[in-house]
Chains A and B, each alone.
Chain A
Amino acid sequence: MSKARRRWIGSTVVIGVKGERLEQFVNQAVRAGVGLRRIERPRPDLLVARVEAGDFRRLRAVCRRRPWQARVLHRGRSGFKRLLGRSGLVVGAGLAALALLLLSQRIWFVRLEGAERVSAERVYAVAAESGLRPGVRREDVDRDAVQRSLLMELPAVAWAAVDLRGTLATVRLAERIQHGAALDLPGHIVAARSGVVERVVVVEGEPAVEPGETVQAGQLLVSGLLPPGSEAYRAALDDGRLPYLRASGKVYARVWHEAEADAALEVAELQPKRGLPRPWLRLRLGSRSLALGWRPAGAEGWRVQELSLGGDYGLDLRIAWPVVERRRLVPEAEAAAAAWEAALAQIESELPEEAELVGEPGRSVERVERGGASYVRVRAVVESVEPIGVFQGIDPLRAEFGG
């Protein structure tokens, strides 16, 4: 334990030392490792000082060597006991601890997970109506009731759970899977993109194309129209139904995907600069907020990292790191490689999961000037075999059918 801490916890004593040449007593006490404080000399033969109670024995050992007499004049209270004597401080600390205890029993932050299509505001509103909102006591939150409300009020929600931990409540949602069209709607299969047909697999309907045929986007691939004159056609008309079925099948075609991307030959990079970061903190308390710290005047010269916690009641933390902008010349090969990667990534994002790549991607590179800056432009071409058909429902009012 450090001396300062011992002094604070332990008690001090006021001693009086009588004798001659008391300066030597002070020097010898210090050499013996005893720290003397508030030394006064009311008379030439008397010295009064304060020492830790535990050091007094060592002082007596010092006194034994010379004709000095030391005795305790007063026993002082320790810092801890003095603190206990300050009733206002003790009461304040107690109230602060009580406030902390009471506040920690309430929910102050509500977090939402899993909401992609469902509006977060709507979820918070439904949760608040059923008793989960910042400021409520944790034990007053009926998790089952909140979950039921979420499921009943939000049709797009398939599953909901509420997890309470400390002052944080987490609402977890799973949304219903949306179907693009009603499964029983009649319709055709049309081409989503242009290509050369490789193979046609029909489950329902009449094939409208053959392998080797070139098709354009939007072109009919599998027809949902029942063959005119067939029994099924007549039966449908007799029943007062449209003579259509829901076409089903897959049409695979050879498709060429193209994308191009530019990469600059000179780039500006932000590099860390010497200097201290500037923190900024804002506490959100409903309609009010409290901001602390330095807010950078603008983004220029600073790289800002932001973190937000909670909803209406929460905090925003922003740390701005000093940076300096430096321009760097990029080698043409490096720029071309970056543009190539970007173009391929763009194509990859468009490719359906079932696409099978054919051969190596094609590439062309050129240098372009734009806005006074030089760029490397890379065009990538990827060939694949993939299903190109998409279902297209039939509007009963516009349906055309005839014999």
Chain B
Amino acid sequence: MHDHRRLAGGRPKVPNQGAGKVRGLLERFSSELDLPPDLLLDLPRATLVGGVQLLIENHRGLLEYTPGRVRILTGAGQLTVVGERLTIGRILRDELRLDGRIDAVYLTEAGEMG
């Protein structure tokens, strides 16, 4: 049986104060109306199947790819996947599937990125 875990995106720091207000408003709006935040706030949705597959929806591109580490740009920051024999099973405009042994998944918020 696969173990399904979902990782919700964090809140990225945005340089523009006005845009931050809009995002805060949208967060409250989605929370009050119980709407999925990934749709409203353009956040990534990552679904981990056991430790063998990771499906990332709403990505913005590939930053780094090696068999031991993959970095993906998302609306919530950088998603870093660490593992072994990592391959990209499929990559489309807004969907990316990683296969291989996945040891860790990190989400680095926009402001923390070097």
Contact = CB atoms under 8 A, between A and B. Distances in A.
Contacts of A35: 90-92
B102 to A, nearest CB: 16
A40 B65 CA distance: 9
Interface string A9-53: 000000000000011001100110101111111001001010000
B12 interface: no
A186 B89 CA distance: 98
A282 B68 CA distance: 56
Interface in B51-82: 61-67
A39 B91 contact: yes
Contacts of A39: 65, 87-88, 91
Interface residues of B, number: 14
B104 to A, nearest CB: 19
B91 A41 contact: no
Given A36-B88, A38-B87, A39-B88, A26 B65 contact: yes
A403 B12 CA distance: 125
Instruction: Summarize B's interface: helix, strand, loop or mixed.
Output: strand
Nearest to B97: A37
B93 interface: yes
Contacts of B66: 41, 44
Given A31-B93, A40-B87, A26 B62 contact: yes
A322 to B, nearest CB: 28
Contacts of B65: 22-23, 26, 39, 41, 47
B33 to A, nearest CB: 24
Contact of A23 (B62, B89, B90, B92): B62
Contact of B63 (A23, A41, A44, A47): A23
B89 A37 contact: yes
B83 to A, nearest CB: 13
A288 to B, nearest CB: 37
Contact of B93 (A22, A30, A41, A44): A30
Contacts of A31: 93
Interface string A48-63: 0100000000000000
Nearest to A35: B92
Interface in B86-114: 87-93
A119 to B, nearest CB: 58
B61 A27 contact: yes
Contacts of B93: 30-31, 33
Interface in B11-70: 61-67
Given A22-B65, A39-B65, A44-B66, A30 B87 contact: no
Nearest to B87: A40
A47 B87 CA distance: 11
A30 B92 CA distance: 6
Contacts of B91: 26, 30, 35-37, 39
A30 B91 CA distance: 7
Contacts of A33: 93
B78 to A, nearest CB: 13
A30 to B, nearest CB: 6
Contacts of B90: 35-38
Interface of A: 22-23, 26-27, 30-31, 33, 35-41, 44, 47, 49
Given A35-B91, A38-B87, A41-B65, 13 more contacts: A22-B65, A23-B61, A23-B62, A23-B64, A23-B65, A26-B62, A27-B61, A38-B88, A39-B65, A40-B67, A41-B66, A41-B67, A47-B65
8 contacts: A23-B61, A26-B91, A30-B93, A31-B93, A33-B93, A35-B90, A36-B90, A39-B88
A-B pairs with lowest CB-CB distance, top 10: A39-B88, A27-B61, A23-B62, A26-B62, A40-B87, A37-B90, A36-B91, A35-B92, A23-B65, A30-B93
